[in-house]
Structure 1
Amino acid sequence: MICYVSLGSNVGDTEDNIHEALVLLEDYGDEIKLRGVSEYYETEPQGEIKDQPWFTNQVIKLEIDAEIWSAPGFLSTCTAIEAKMGRTRAVPGGPRPLDMDIIAWGDVEMDMDFLTLPHPRAKERAFVLIPLRELAPDFVFPDGTTIDEALDAIDYRVEGNKIWQDS
């Protein structure tokens, strides 16, 4: 099963935080195999809390043993890694050492209270779409939207590896 995960950090050494998350995932051995990583992207904060450090973002491609892992089970592992890295959820959308979002879990579509796949806001986020395009340029969302079509539908600007959302 191929899975794409978006990683973000804006507290401490952000690239080191993301690297540490990859090391923790690699601890699972053959159950979770890292198959690709995008470049790092610096992204201005999204949402309501703009007064915080910019994020470092990356998308990774994983091969997951589907006989062992379900998407909800893997989400629990991501949440545990976030907590181990010091993430608290006291301020929703606030600064955090690590954020992990499952973008896609194969071609699975699900809508549960705690997990929706593909990620419901992936098509609205240049900081997900641009690095995802590096790893899976032919990726198509279940509704038929390509990455380029999704990017064309949002306002963003990219200079080097910096992404700005136009408000």
Structure 2
Amino acid sequence: MTQSRITRAFISLGSNIGDPEDNLRQARDYLNDLHEARLGPCSPVYFTEPQDLRDQPWFANQVVSLDCGPTWTAQELLRTLLQIEDRMGRVREQDKGPRIVDLDLLLFGSQRRESPELTLPHPRLRERAFVLVPLHDIAPELVFPDGTRLSEALARLSFQVRGCRIHQ
């Protein structure tokens, strides 16, 4: 990959079925095997209580960076993430329930986009401590496309981190 034509993407990984930590490892392996993309820093795994549908197991969550070569677009990366979810056995009966894996494209460089298929930055990114805390672990100086610093977004949320658990 030519260094000057790299776009850094950030992806949120989540799982709460089976062996969630192994599911995240398997998802990272799929990302690591992508052509013209290189898996970058990965946050620690955090365990978080479900946000919407509370009556389900806690989630294992992690954020990873992916350096994408010039052939990648945000739309193509989203399609690839959905294919990885399908390969891993994700069932899409309901969006908020238990799942073997959930891969969300949070950021693709500094792109802003709003379409029925893809919104960048991810529309709920700044509401979720389980995304912002691990994102801060790997990109503490990150500035969102609108100029807001990641640390400012984190400061606006009410949450607690206790070891590897995030309570919000």
* TM-score, shorter chain, exceeding 0.5: yes
Shift in Å, 1:18? 0.7
Q: Structure 1 residue 92: deviation in Å?
A: 1.8
CA distance in 1, matches of 2:32, 2:146: 32
Counterparts of 1:1-167 in structure 2, within 5 Å, are 1-29=7-35, 31-47=36-52, 49-66=53-70, 68-165=71-168
1:135 to partner: Cα distance? 0.9
- Distance in 1, matches of 2:127 and 2:144, equals 12
Q: d(CA) in 2 for partners of 1:106 and 1:38?
A: 18
TM-score (structure 1 length as normaliser): 0.94
Match in the other structure for 2:3? none
d(CA) in 2 for partners of 1:91, 1:121: 18
Shift of 1:123: 0.8
* Aligned equivalents of 1:76, 1:160: Cα separation in 2: 34
Give the 3-state SS of the residue equivalent to 2:11 in structure 1.
Answer: strand
* TM-score, scaled to structure 2: 0.93
1:61 match: secondary structure: strand
Deviation (angstroms), 1:39 = 0.3
What is the DSSP-based 3-state SS (H/G/I as helix, E as strand, rest coil) of the residue aligned with 1:58?
A: strand
- 4+ runs of 1 displaced by more than 6 Å? none
Distance 1:164 1:28 in 2: 33
Question: SS at the partner of 2:40?
Answer: strand
Q: What is the rounded CA distance, in whole Å, between the counterparts of 2:50 and 2:89 in structure 1? A: 19
Q: Take 1:149 and 1:102, find their aligned partners in 2: how far apart are those partners? A: 21
Tell me the C-alpha RMSD between the 2 structures. 1.0
Give the aligned residue type for 1:7.
L
- What is the alpha-carbon distance in structure 1 between the residues aligned to residue 31 and residue 145 of structure 2? 27
Aligned residues: 162
**SS state of the match for residue 150, structure 1?**
helix
Residue identity (%):
47
